[in-house]
């Protein structure tokens, strides 16, 4: 079983990496980009029977800083 976890900074939290990307895109001539938010994707190979609740616990304890980040989980 696989899980994909998408982690993003919450709205209102300053994203300096995203701002740097937005600025660099403008410098390259891509003027239509008004904002960029950068996040991360974590792919997990899990043993059969691992529950979504267990993956959520992994996120809460390690994979995401839930004070400033939100996350979503996709199981496949």
CA distance 16 to 35: 11
The model's pTM is 0.87
Residue-wise pLDDT for 27-53, tens only, equals 999 999 999 999 999 999 999 999 999
CATH number at residue 54: 3.30.1280.10
Count: domains in the chain: 1
Mean pLDDT across the chain:
97
Sign of the torsion formed by the C-alpha atoms of 25, 26, 28 and 31? positive
Q: What is the domain range of residue 27? A: 2-75
Question: Bridge-partner residues for 6, per DSSP?
Answer: 41, 72
């Amino acid at each position: 079983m696989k899980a994909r976890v998408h982690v993003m900074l919450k709205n209102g939290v300053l994203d300096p990496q995203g701002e740097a990307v937005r600025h660099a895109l403008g410098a390259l001539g891509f003027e239509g980009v008004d904002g960029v938010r950068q996040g991360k994707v974590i792919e997990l190979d899990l043993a059969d029977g691992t529950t979504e609740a267990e993956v959520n616990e992994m996120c809460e304890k390690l994979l995401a800083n839930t004070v400033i980040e939100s996350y979503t989980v996709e199981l496949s």
